[in-house]
Structure formats: C-alpha cells, structure tokens
Copies of this chain bind each other. A is one copy, B any other.
Amino acid sequence: MTTSLPPDISQSLLQRFNSVRQRSVDYCAPLHPEDCNLQAMPETSPAKWHLAHTAWFFETFLLKPYLRNYQPFHDRFEYLFNSYYNGVGSQYPRAQRGLLSRPTLDEVLHYRLHVDQSMTTLLSQVDHPARQDIIRRTELGVHHEYQHQELFFTDIKYNLACNPLAPQYRHHEGLMPSVESADAIRWETFSAGLISMGNDAHNGFVFDNETPVHKRFLAPFELASRPVCNAEVLAFIHDGGYRTPSLWLADGWAKVQQEQWQHPLYWQQHDDHWKVFTLHGLAPLNPADTAVHLSAYEADAIARWLGARLPDEAEWELAAQSLPVQGHFLSGTGLLQPGRADATPLSQMFGSVWEWTASSYAPYPGYRAAAGALGEYNGKFMCNQLVLRGGSCVSDPEQLRPSYRNFFYPPDRWQFSGLRLARDGDSI
C-alpha cells in the first residue's frame, strides 16, 4: 500500500486500470449467470460478488472521497459488497453472498461500467489536490483486483467441484502430458547469517504487510530445487500417511479424522487409478505434476514423512530475493493447473503453487497499519494464519514479488497451495 511515484504515471496507470478491470470481466465469459452466483462454502465468494466488490473498492476508497458530485450507483451496494471493512460500516453476512440473486450479473456489469467511467474521469484530473493519494489508492485497487482475480479461480473451482457433473470452466487440449515422475529433488544450501528482508517499496508497489525492511538472523538451511509433486504424495498415501497420527500436528490429525481426509482436495480414486478435478474437467492424475490443494497440515505431514520440514518465510524470501518472477502461469501456459514440477534449481518459486511456510502470519518488527478503513486491509488478519510464498498458476506475475506474503488458515485446501521442502543445514 505504499508506492514511490514516478513524475507522470497517470497514463500508464489508467491503461493498467482499464486492462485489469477488463480482465475480471473476461474471466467470467465462459460462465453462466447461475455459475456466477455459486457459493459452496462461506470462504468461496460468488464470481459475481468478486466483480461487484472490486468495483465497490474503487467506489468506496476513491470515487466517494475524491470525485466531486459522484453519484453512487445504488445506495445499498455500500452494505452489500463491503467485504470486511468495519470502518466503512456493517456488512452483508459473508456466508450468504450466494443468496444475492439480485443485483443480477447484468446489473453488476453496469455497476462496473459506472465505476470505470467515473474512475477515468478522476484519473484524468491531473491537478486534483489529492492527486498523490488517488494514484496510490488506484494502484492499491489494481493490486486488490489482481488478488480477487486469483480468488475468482480458486473459488469457482471449488464451487463447480461440488457438482457431480464435474463441469469444465474451459476446455483445454492435451491438459497434462503423462510423465511418470519428476526429477529428483536437489538441495540448495544457505549459510547462517543476518539477512535483510521485507520491502519498503522504493521500487514499485508493495502491501503494508511487507514493510518495513528489517533484519533477521538465520541458521544454515537447505531448500529443495522444486515443489513436492504428486508422485511423492501418492507414496505418502500408499505408506498410510493419512492414517498415521505421528506424522501430523495435533490439530491437523483432529481435522483428518473429523473430515475423513484420505487424499488432497479434488483427488478421486477410481478403482486402480486416480483422477483429479480441474477447471478443464476431470483428468488423470499426473505423478510428475506439482502437488496442489494441500492444507498446511498435509504439507507439514508430507514434509515430515519426507524427512524434511516447511521453510520459514525468511528462508524462502532469502532464496527468492535474486530470482526473477518466472514460472508456470496461466498467462503463459493457458493452463489452470500448476503443471509439471520442474527440475531446474529453485524452479517455480513463483507460479505453479503457493508454498506453505512454517511462519505464522505476523507483523514485521516496526509494522504500522495504515490509518482509517484501509488499515483493515491486512493488519487485522495477523493471527491464526500461516504465510504462503511465491504465487500460483492463477496468479498474475505482475502482482508478485519475492517479498509478497499470502496467508491462509492451516486447514484451508481450496487455494492452489503446495509445498517446497526445507531442512536444517550443517552448522559448520
């Protein structure tokens, strides 16, 4: 939520604004209005709600405070599409978003149009006294929309998966060329020392939870060259991993028993083979593919079974600091799956899957949340969640950085989440 401003960025910002806004709409194109209203669990918002809420964000934090004479599209939308900003007001209950058949998809698209036109007006007011705030908040709104585009895919996947008809979001030829196993994991070694981590945005946009830059002392460690792949999860399953309490955290084992977990989310066992539900339809499970849709509990248990552990987020960030944001992304592959677990050293640190870390999501030393309702963006969630790093196949590479911190609850599985192994290094 902090940006260093180049002198004149309004044109490029407007272009990015328009391009990102359009893409949210484009993503809904393969869906029917009924699909866009689905909410299969409280955490998975309807696609239509994502469309409306991202418009609400610009309306609430830019148009209402800064655009003179702005007419809100509908006086109840402030309430209906507020996600969790108590500073703005009360919120329509999250778990019931799927009951909002009205406004219809068409009306929401009109709402977006209304907001986009007003934003174009606002962004063209180069002499606006709050120009800097407007640019900063617009930048934030664009990154907010990146996040919801990613949630769009994670949510619609879960929502469609509940249907026994296993509907496709979009057909894709040659989904997963069959490869039996990924290359063996190699270990990248890192020595002990005081490192600097975090990001103060001297070089572009960052969220407040990445600030401030601060020091951490790290013991020597090693990090795996690639994420864990399906072949390794299959071996875990065949070895009774889901029935062996000693491999699990206590809360994880309780969840395994309560939910009767026997395999990752979206896996289906058919007699002697496995299938997996994807946004391209049911597909054979490819052992060489990166394992995805794991809870942190499963990630932790699989790591333990493999004689390793999850990395600390500082370890992960150190390893990533010099790497380009490259990997398997939807924008490159057209695939809504993580694809093959590559063997190049530290491959796919970005793209493929969000990688669970062992780090609790907490403020960095010296962290200050922004003032006002926008201060609720990140800070109030810094409890009970774990940090995930990198980015997944459905992230936009534009939104990612080595310092980017994603966060979910340990039992959550519907994200495109997997793991990369770490282990203690030699204390020479």
Contacts and interface: CB of A to CB of B under 8 A. Distances in A.
A307 interface: no
24 contacts: A32-B101, A32-B102, A32-B104, A33-B34, A34-B37, A34-B102, A38-B101, A76-B164, A80-B164, A84-B250, A194-B217, A215-B217, A216-B217, A246-B375, A248-B380, A249-B381, A249-B383, A250-B381, A253-B380, A296-B383, A358-B363, A360-B360, A365-B424, A383-B410
Contacts of A376: 246
Contacts of A54: none
Nearest to A103: B165
A92 B40 contact: no
B34 A104 contact: yes
Contacts of A380: 248-250, 253
A160 interface: yes
Contacts of A365: 218-219, 312, 424
Given A33-B34, A34-B37, A384-B410, A163 B216 contact: no
B384 A251 contact: yes
Interface of A: 32-38, 40, 48, 76, 79-80, 84, 86-87, 92, 96, 98-105, 159-160, 162-165, 167, 194, 214-219, 245-246, 248-253, 296-297, 300, 312, 358-360, 362-363, 365-366, 375-376, 380-384, 410, 424, 427
B160 A101 contact: yes
Copies of the polypeptide in the assembly = 4
Contacts of A252: 383
Contacts of A34: 33-34, 36-37, 48, 101-102, 104-105
Contacts of A214: 219
A87 B244 CA distance: 10
Contacts of A87: 246
Contacts of A250: 84, 380-381, 383
A219 B366 contact: yes
Contacts of A167: 101-102
A418 B251 CA distance: 25
A267 to B, nearest CB: 20
Contacts of A216: 217
A318 to B, nearest CB: 14
Smallest CB-CB A-B distances: 10 pairs: A360-B360, A34-B101, A86-B245, A35-B101, A33-B33, A250-B380, A217-B217, A219-B365, A34-B37, A249-B383
